[in-house]
Amino acid sequence: MTALERVALSDRPLVTLVLVSYNQEKYICEAVEAAFAQTYSPLAIEISDDASADSTYTIIQKMCAAYRGPHTVMCSRNPVNLGISAHVNLVSQRATGELIVGCAGDDISVPHRVERIVDAYLRSGRRSHYFYSMVRAMSESGELQGVYQSPGAGAAQSKLRSGLANYPLAIGASQAWTKHFVNAFAPMHRGVWAEDQIFGFRGRLLGPVGFIDEALVNYRSGSGIANSEIRFTLKRYLRNQLNVLAMYRQRVTDAFAVKERILGLVILAKLAFLTGFFPLSPLFSVLRRWKRVRRR
């Protein structure tokens, strides 16, 4: 190895790939194999199970014990179920890498995913602290489909738009963030249902967001918590509305945490409106659904 090559290698940041799982015994093997197959080094792989009731963690333990490769591998299981946001809080705080790449137990990262994210990070001069990519849709059975991104991605260039957006900036499974990103904010409130609604806005608060225009994750639909085919019920609708309020409360807190006071007040105004509208929102939702049925 030449002196130039040694300098280049020493500049490569340690990355922690965190794979979080919960009751995904049907898919976890593929997700773990994809983590092991990453081409980037140095890479620490942390697989964290959120108290699965099925055999997910048993499979993880066996695969980690059998692993022979260049990466550092560790696995753990939470004693009780924390939920998505609290679980991501935990693994982010525990991660030792300069960069943290997120994975879910039912999705598949392409082998060069971490390589591409590190390239984008270094090209930014280490100034970007949040990254996301396109994803490729994958059916529950594993059939690959089209490439897409979150409908909230259009807000990425504006702090205001990303703070007021109803949709997350990125598909959660495509996210990566820095250790500085973790240390810049307090852990997410327990009422926050999903970290992707928060992380994109946090990333934009810290500076330019890094986007990789390539599908780096095969994103499985129909197997996770967010399944669009779930039947509508009033209880579920009200729970979702409470999640929206929790999302905006967190964004207000985050804006004030980095001294973006005017932006925080604007988001607070939207939160106040949504809170006041909350008692009437189920009625308007039922009317919208009734109109859609009438048009069919």
Tokens of 140: 């529950």
CB atoms within 10 A of CB 112: 15
Gap between the Cα atoms of 17 and 42, Å rounded: 11
pLDDT recorded at residue 223: 54
| pLDDT at 267 > cutoff 60 | yes
| pLDDT, tens digit (0-9, with 9 covering 90-100), for 217-240 | 999 986 554 444 445 565 666 777
Q: Which residues pair with 60 in a beta bridge?
A: none
Instruction: Find how far residue 69's CA is from the centre of its chain.
Output: 26
The predicted-structure confidence for 143-153, as pLDDT tens digits, reads as follows 999 999 999 99
With contact defined as beta carbons under 8 Å apart, do 48 and 122 qualify? no
On the CB side of 222, CA atoms within 13 Å amount to 8
Report the chain's mean pLDDT, rounded to a whole number: 89
pTM score, whole prediction: 0.86
